[in-house]
Chain A
């Protein structure tokens, strides 16, 4: 038995009216602060690196900062802490690079039961994969536009 057309629309409108809504004020505030805190930690790490090794090039400091943050996220994910942070702060934990690291480590942990190659390696990018593909595609498109503007 299937509802079609207007009856279906009426039911979906009824469900929308009756269902509890996401508390945007709360979730957005939390996301804002958590995202900010993660970025501050990143800034702190790079400042610390600059202080400890003043001779290092800026590029290398940036790379090291990312590596350190990604490693910390991986460890926190492994100990089951990062998902609790994410549950609290939502998008605040997804947007920074820590979210990307978490999205690769978490399926890897879960899929290791199906073997290293076909389980772990095969499924590592199930969540992060689309981000990489779309990111690359868009950067090519933007690059082409940039090139055309340069030609004109």
Chain B
């Protein structure tokens, strides 16, 4: 099978990160790591879509401030979200005088953004790029499920879309010890799951496929990494992945976790299987994981954002749910 792993000639520095978390996320276990926490998730806007755009805009602005850079210093922004025609990003980027590439890989978009951004830098076309994703519980809920005020019960397998945004600033210069060294591009995997409330089961095979390809291409073993974090498989999806991949003689043990598990307190926050959404992985990586990399708790991590490429139309037409996962290896060099 063809090699799907990119090894960057010069490892790409992660210069700075910025995050904004919604109120529910801000009350969760990672509350000390977020750069900003919102008091309410409407932000005085008329619609939840506008609120999501505001959150994303402020995150990118906050990042520029933290890095003490101007819009002129950034070559391109790679970003995506869950809304139709990725309008969240389109309107966010209307506020900036920066080149823009809009991406969609559902909740795996953050991985796609990091890979494309790092590749552009590695190829020498650009100097600094921003990779960013956002999602909003209320705008996603209405796009993929039911109106917010409908008195329906959430199924035990459902997940809670994260309200928040996370941005990463990648730089070609050697400005940080934390670097992206490798990336494995995922392929679309469909194991025939058709329950749109069970994203974990749809995405677990995609995560497995990418992990197997990554370990095969690089010759690394899971214990090479201090942390392997999937994007948003949730509690039940993570368990599925661990069992599935064990059958292929790969063991994911104590160094394995999932951003959807980390972001909420399952017992007290009533989130069923955990967090999901394009913002989930980028919020957790850019706050908690990046801080731990800086503090030296982790030296080598593998981030595997996972995305269920579901659409309401194809679900109604009887199609199953395809999924994708990308892996990005980040190491302290």
The answer to whether B149 and A110 have CB atoms under 8 Å apart is: yes
The answer to whether B205 and A18 have CB atoms under 8 Å apart is: no
Q: Name the contact of A15 in the complex, choosing from B147, B152, B156, B240 (C-beta under 8 A).
A: B240
The answer to whether B156 and A109 have CB atoms under 8 Å apart is: no
The answer to whether B192 and A106 have CB atoms under 8 Å apart is: no
Q: Name the contact of A80 in the complex, choosing from B149, B153, B240 (C-beta under 8 A).
A: B149
Listed stretches A40-48, A52-60, A83-91; interface member = A83-91
The answer to whether A82 and B201 have CB atoms under 8 Å apart is: no
The answer to whether A94 and B151 have CB atoms under 8 Å apart is: yes
Task: Specify which chain B residues have a CB less than 8 angstroms from the CB of A105 in the assembled complex.
Answer: 149
The answer to whether B149 and A113 have CB atoms under 8 Å apart is: no
Listed stretches A19-27, A62-70, A138-146; interface member = A19-27
Q: In the complex, what distance in Å separates the CA atom of A12 from the CA atom of B159?
A: 19
Contacts of B147-173 to chain A: CB distance below 8 A? 147-157
Cβ contacts A74-107/B at 8 Å (1 or 0 each): 0001101011111100100110000100110111
The answer to whether A3 and B192 have CB atoms under 8 Å apart is: yes
**Interface-centre pick from A1, A8, A105 (highest chain B CB count, 10 A):** A1
Query: What's the least CB distance linking B109 to chain A, in Å?
Result: 20
Task: Specify which chain A residues have a CB less than 8 angstroms from the CB of B188 in the assembled complex.
Answer: 1
Task: Specify which chain B residues have a CB less than 8 angstroms from the CB of A99 in the assembled complex.
Answer: 151
Contact size range, B = 20 to 34
Q: Name the contact of B236 in the complex, choosing from A14, A18, A103, A127 (C-beta under 8 A).
A: A18
Task: Specify which chain A residues have a CB less than 8 angstroms from the CB of B191 in the assembled complex.
Answer: 3, 8, 11-12
The answer to whether A86 and B205 have CB atoms under 8 Å apart is: no
Q: In the complex, what distance in Å separates the CA atom of A80 from the CA atom of B150?
A: 9
Task: Specify which chain A residues have a CB less than 8 angstroms from the CB of B236 in the assembled complex.
Answer: 18-20
Is B193 on the interface with A (CB-CB < 8 A)? yes
The answer to whether B157 and A20 have CB atoms under 8 Å apart is: yes
Q: Name the contact of B193 in the complex, choosing from A12, A83, A110 (C-beta under 8 A).
A: A12
CB-nearest residue of chain A to B187: A1
* Residues in A lying within 8 Å of B, measured CB to CB: 1-4, 8, 11-12, 14-15, 18-23, 27, 77-78, 80, 82-87, 90, 93-94, 99, 102-103, 105-107, 109-110, 113, 127
13 contacts between A and B (CB under 8 A): A1-B209, A2-B190, A3-B192, A8-B192, A18-B240, A27-B153, A83-B148, A86-B151, A87-B153, A87-B154, A102-B149, A102-B150, A109-B148
20 more contacts with CB within 8 A, not counting A19-B198, A110-B142, are: A3-B190, A8-B192, A11-B205, A14-B240, A15-B198, A15-B201, A18-B239, A19-B156, A21-B156, A27-B153, A83-B150, A83-B152, A84-B151, A90-B153, A94-B152, A102-B151, A105-B149, A106-B146, A106-B149, A127-B150
